[in-house]
Amino acid sequence: MAIESIAKTLGTGSGIDISALVTQLVDAQYAMKNDALTKKADALTSKISTAAEVKSNLTEFASALASLTSGTSLSTQPTSSNTGILNVTGLTGAKLNGLSANLEVRQLAQSQVASTSPFVDGSAHDFGTGTLTLTFGTAT
């Protein structure tokens, strides 16, 4: 009688796959915990990757900044926004601390040539006395 009671309790002869049922119940019990742990692991992996990228960028910035420093002070260099028009450099040994300048180029100069027609006979000519005035724009 005791054996029949155990068999009925376990579902023997009922057609239920007890092994599969137990496996599914165990999987269901831990599925939510596994999903939560997987999500946490993915989030931590993402944070670690971001931290590594930030570290790399800071290292690159520190290296660039180190190339601008001399001793304990920042070495400043004059710069030009268009080196095709104006190139600026500091003199060797010059201290540029406190140097503040702006240069505005409003118009680039155009080359000019003034000439006369050749004299027909090729001889020297005396123009006499007087004043010769050359005017370039507003300067005389």
What is the total count of domains within the chain? 1
Q: Specify whether the CB–CB gap between 88 and 105 falls below 8 A.
A: no
Q: How far is residue 35's CA from residue 43's CA, in Å, rounded to a whole number?
A: 12
Beta-bridge partners for 139? 136
Structure tokens at 139: 């300067």
User: Which pLDDT tens digit goes with each residue over 64-105?
Assistant: 877 777 666 666 677 777 788 777 777 777 766 666 677 777
> Given pLDDT bands bounded at 50, 70 and 90, which one contains residue 55?
very high
More confident residue, 85 or 124: 85
In a domain, 113, yes or no: no
Q: What pLDDT is recorded for position 65? A: 79
Q: How far is residue 75's CA from residue 66's CA, in Å, rounded to a whole number?
A: 10
In a domain, 97, yes or no: no
In a domain, 94, yes or no: no
Nearest Cα to Cα of residue 87 among 95, 78, 96 = 78
In a domain, 33, yes or no: yes
In a domain, 21, yes or no: yes
Whether residue 1 has pLDDT greater than 60: no
Q: How far is residue 140's CA from residue 136's CA, in Å, rounded to a whole number?
A: 6
Query: Which domain covers residue 53, as residue numbers?
Result: 17-63
In a domain, 41, yes or no: yes
Q: Is 81 helix (H, G, I), strand (E, B) or coil?
A: coil
In a domain, 35, yes or no: yes
Query: Model pTM greater than 0.85?
Result: no
In a domain, 138, yes or no: no
